[in-house]
Structure 1
């Protein structure tokens, strides 16, 4: 990963001490070897010479989710989603969390902005929320940009409790004076509200409330059209548009047709932008595929997906980039109704992939969609047995056992065998009850509790989970 970068790993506390003594900011990467977005980051961001150049003046630290004690550290530093990218000041203060889905060029711009910032994202947020109060400090334009480029998806309550995110982001967007940062904040606010528009119309005069709601929806549509129609602005927000654009348009109200057409045009530009990695162009084609569900032109889209996948697979061979690409390609093929081709692609990649067990999960999901219970459980079991790393094995094993209980609750021998093996996995994992591991074990405990007459191993496993969760 980034051969020219001297990644630190192991003792994060020691790394913070080294950052302090050397006066260097610490750049933290939290990820896993099987995670497609992590592999995209490795290929498209960490693999860029300009990124390696920036890291020479920083202390880059790689916290692998499967490293010993990593899940406990993740709980301490509020890390969960893979990947999470955090920049710390030399004195250990968290400066900001950076969005991993930006393309390499835009990510470097965001990193440079964070390195030059005179305030942390938390400080800028506090000042922004105090706007209008006596003695409030006005934000500089760079601070608005820093907040707009904050990775709200991976905040994990560091700056805001999740329940407050939609309302606070809406306040930020409304308080933002003007410019591209404000457009991005409005997008964040709408995404946080699940694509819906906060009309602010509640109670009071019904006619006034209806007018207020209509005005809010119209203003939101105007903002979306301004982003979709501006090639530069759309490109700067491509990460949000390709991942959330469908929902933004789906909940847009009466102007949906206009917005679908505008977003489809933006997606067409992304798909033909040769400055973008092939995987990103494929994601844009997948967006076009999704938009056909709500009125975008459907003619030739399935064949376009097939052709784009073929071109990308022929050109992308670097392992990290290919792992991310194959995941996107299989998703795009499935959405285009080419499920058999998606399965064939995943099967063909198993032998060459550095993390074939991830693709086995996708094959299990495909079997489940077909109603193939033996195939579903077979692939989930293979994924578990093939997986590597303590946290991954624990989480994959949980997925298998939960699926067995869901699909064949009467198969007590299979449940008992899996429960016994899972107890061994848990006992061998030092931080089994921390962070991502804990989430999975909570899910497993709920499923085990649903068994009418649990066997001895399932019963013992449930008692152990209840005692520790």
Structure 2
């Protein structure tokens, strides 16, 4: 299980990167940041074009330093978590003198093209690269700051790149303790098939976990992490590790050990339901026993003051997800133990009161509201989001959550009002395309007869795409592809939409002709145009 809104901002949500730094500067108590940069204590180099990247690597070669590339988003909760817990640390600032820090803001002109070049999709992504642009490793963004620091220090120590280490491991050659740790803590969730195709990852992680268990110099936390990652990846039962009593016993002992569970916090929290399912495929006493053990470990993490507030709330969310197991995923009023519901209410109130840093608040408040909704506390979730609209540097993010809450509860008109406001308030070209595609998708689902509004929103998005030089790259391109798929399905199911889709197709064709063919944008655009032209095949 990955918390949908806080751990990793992929394009599957109606999200985007806003030019919200100015709003953050205007907030009471907000840190004074240089425009658009993640922190003040680090000499970040903003990059949005090939020339910016060339300058960064030239500086790296001159200084014989690696490059740390951070791909982030102002609105994105886990990005704000990094700002509040990692980028503001004095030891991170000191360590930053050992590398060239590059920040790619996805809403700057050309930034989405850079995203495609470095194969980054989800916000946040941190990549450590050698001066010759060889990728050393992708740092995990979901672990807590001290562990990120440890992995960054290991990457700076001059070891082999992750791709080479993985090749050695798959060939059965011995690895050092540090190399096993590099693989264990690699950012597999943001690999984007750089090392291993996604379909092959469960089997590869299973092989690594098996090899690490036999390697005499692999440290126990690296062995454990690879085991947990492999089990979580194999939760569908089709690939990867096949659990046995030994594995179940090992995980049970881990859950009972506070220090060991704390060291694997991110995997246990993010993958709790998947791990329970993988270790106990069939419902019954064994699964119930394991669920109780998980809940106890997660409760300790929920109450662990050494963890960030966001991580503590995410641990509580994992408890809610486990308690919802076996119930319909769309249940509005799930059956939960009353003490668990009480914990949600109490921790939500406490974190709302205690979280004052604006970056941390942008990470915590969406998480709290999400957990409240998962616990069936819809009124609490709505009230919290509405109360924070004026405090958020990216209120459109909270508006999208309000739209989602209303939609799940069957209040379609209210949901569309919130989605419309979120789109209207969104800022930045990539953000507007992403939020606009989300709004159009909701329109097609909830108001398919409103052809005029659907055509107006789609036409506006194509007009904005025409002004964006990187509109068909990376996240923006995927937003437009989803838009095309939705329009094609809409027209296939509703013949009355045909005139509107014909006009939109003509508008898009003109846009495609204006794109250069060399960088792939024209091909992406023409693919969307073909979707609209072949809309009769989109039914079903």
TM-score calculated relative to the size of structure 1: 0.92
Shift of 1:457: 5.0
Q: RMSD of the TM alignment (CA)?
A: 1.9
**2:371 alignment partner, SS class:** helix
- 2:264 matched residue in structure 1: 237
Q: Which runs of 5+ in 1 are unaligned?
A: 132-136, 201-212
Query: What does residue 281 of structure 1 align with?
Result: 312
Q: In the alignment, what sits opposite 1:24?
A: 65
C-alpha change, 1:265 and 1:44, in structure 2 (3 Å) is same
Residue 168 in structure 1 maps to residue 204 in structure 2: yes
Question: For 1:165, what is the secondary structure of its paired residue?
Answer: helix
Task: Give the structure 2 partner of residue 153 of structure 1.
Answer: 189
**CA 1:432–1:460: 2 relative to 1, 3 Å:** farther
Q: Deviations over 1:110-166 (max 9, x none)?
A: 2112222421111100000000xxxxx411111000000000000001111111111
After superposition, residues 399-438 of structure 1 pair within 5 angstroms as: 399-438=438-477
Q: Which has the higher contact order (CA 8 A, sep 6+)?
A: 2
Q: Describe how 1:35-74 pairs up with structure 2 within 5 A.
A: 35-74=76-115
Kept in 1: contact 2:451–2:500 (CA 8 A) = no
TM-score normalised by length of structure 2: 0.80
Relative to 1, partners in 2 of residues 1:379 and 1:458: Cα closer, same or farther, differing over 3 Å? Answer: farther
User: Does structure 1 residue 461 correspond to structure 2 residue 488?
Assistant: no
Q: CA deviation at 1:100?
A: 0.6
Distance in structure 2 (CA, Å) of the matches to 1:75 and 1:430: 14
Structure 1: distance between partners of 2:41 and 2:482: 41
Partner of 1:291: 322
1:191 aligns with 2:232: yes
Total equivalences in the alignment: 450
Q: Equivalent of 2:132, from 91, 97, 100?
A: 91
Counterpart Cα distance in 1 of 2:488 and 2:321: 38
Q: Is the 8 A contact 1:448 1:462 kept in 2?
A: no
2:148 is matched with which residue?
107
CA distance 1:455–1:424, shift in 2 (3 Å): farther
Q: What is the CA-CA distance between 1:35 and the residue it aligns to?
A: 0.7
> Aligned to 1:454, what secondary structure does the other structure show?
helix
Q: SS state of the match for residue 86, structure 2?
A: helix
1:265-314 CA-to-partner distances (Å, cap 9, x unmatched) read: 21121122111122211211222222223499824111111111111111
Whether the 8 Å contact between 1:20 and 1:92 is mirrored in structure 2 is no
Q: CA deviation at 1:193?
A: 2.3
* Paired position in structure 1 for 2:273: 246
Among 139, 144, 154, the residue aligned to 2:175:
139
1:380-426 alpha-carbon deviations (Å, 9 max, x no partner): 11111100111000111111112111221111111121122112111
Q: Is the 8 A contact 1:173 1:189 kept in 2?
A: yes
1:261 partnered with 2:292: yes
Q: Distance in 2 between matches of 1:306 and 1:368?
A: 23
Name stretches of at least 5 consecutive residues in structure 2 with no aligned partner. Answer: 1-37, 327-334, 510-524, 529-540
1:207 maps to none
Partners in 1 of 2:344 and 2:161 — Cα distance?
A: 42
How many Å apart are 1:233 and its aligned residue?
A: 2.2
Q: CA deviation at 1:226?
A: 3.1
Q: 2:236, 2:300 → 1: CA distance?
A: 23
1:345 — aligned with what? 384
Q: How far apart are 1:334 and its partner, in Å?
A: 1.1
Task: Decide whether the 8 Å contact of 1:190 with 1:196 is kept in 2.
Answer: no
